[in-house]
Structure 1
Amino acid sequence: MNPLIIPFQVTDWATLPTVEHPGESGTATWRSLQLGTLRVRLVEYSPGYLADHWCQKGHILYVVSGILETELKTGEVFRMTAGMSYEVSDDLSSHRSRTGPDVGATLFVVDGSFLAKPFQTGL
């Protein structure tokens, strides 16, 4: 396994370009930083957002503000508020995100090949 080498750097997230991803309802706006096989994102979900797919990828996700509900395909729903997180490796759950009709959510998300099982290179 080759270690990922990241020299010290400061990121002003407000200067990164935004990419809008429509959900089944609402939108997700991403600001992304790609560091080799590591992807770091600041994601804003609009109120009323519902993901348009079930995700199998692993993530380390931290709720910066707002309220996020993460639904597993098994039917479990986890309600998370600012200061909460979840962590999962690739292919260990089918999950999707949603927000309520009145409040969106801002998330800090880290993912990449280090979450694959077994370890793989690339995203």
Structure 2
Amino acid sequence: MQMPPFAFDTTDWMRLEPTGHAGASGTALWRTREFGAVRVRLVAYTPGYRADHGCSKGHILFCVEGELQTELEDGRRFTLAPGMSHQVGDGAEPHLSSTTVGARLIVD
């Protein structure tokens, strides 16, 4: 990933207005910052959230709290707990996210 030049800054994520994104069940609340072509989000999934589609976009995702289940197109399943991350490149392996208890994540 190439980071475009931009000035040093800090972010108080709780001051950013969240936008709601409905899943097949539950809601994802995104607090988003963009730095040129780089998008960073603090995402909170409500308990019972399940994505309404598989995603083939690449991400680096860090679990801050809660628990996130990720299912890959080939059927493999992974669970993230606080302090864990997963990484996947664009178009590499479609993935679908869900949580029974809710989760808060940092996602690029």
For residue 82 of structure 1, give the secondary structure of its aligned residue in structure 2: coil
**Equivalent residue, structure 2, for 1:60:** 60
Q: Residue 49 in 1 paired to residue 49 in 2? A: yes
**Equivalent residue, structure 1, for 2:107:** 109
**Equivalent residue, structure 2, for 1:82:** 82
CA deviation vs aligned residue, 1:39-80 (integer Å, no higher than 9, x gap): 000000000000000100000000000000011011111011
Which letter does structure 1 place at the counterpart of 2:104? T
Gaps of 5+ in 1: 111-123
Measure the CA separation in 2 of the matches of 1:73 and 1:49.
Answer: 18
TM-score normalised according to structure 1 size = 0.84
CA-CA distance at 1:7 after TM superposition: 1.0
Q: Percent identity?
A: 50
CA deviation vs aligned residue, 1:84-116 (integer Å, no higher than 9, x gap): 00111100011010001xx10000011xxxxxx
Gaps of 5+ in 2: none
For residue 67 of structure 2, give the secondary structure of its aligned residue in structure 1: strand
**Equivalent residue, structure 2, for 1:8:** 8
CA-CA distance at 1:6 after TM superposition: 2.1
Measure the CA separation in 2 of the matches of 1:67 and 1:19.
Answer: 21
> Does structure 1 retain, via aligned residues, the 8 Å contact 2:67–2:80?
yes
Measure the CA separation in 2 of the matches of 1:70 and 1:90.
Answer: 16
Structure 1 or 2, whichever has the larger Rg, is 1
For residue 8 of structure 1, give the secondary structure of its aligned residue in structure 2: coil
**Equivalent residue, structure 1, for 2:28:** 28
TM-score normalised according to structure 2 size = 0.96
Measure the CA separation in 2 of the matches of 1:107 and 1:29.
Answer: 10
- The CA RMSD measured in Å over matched residues stands at 1.0
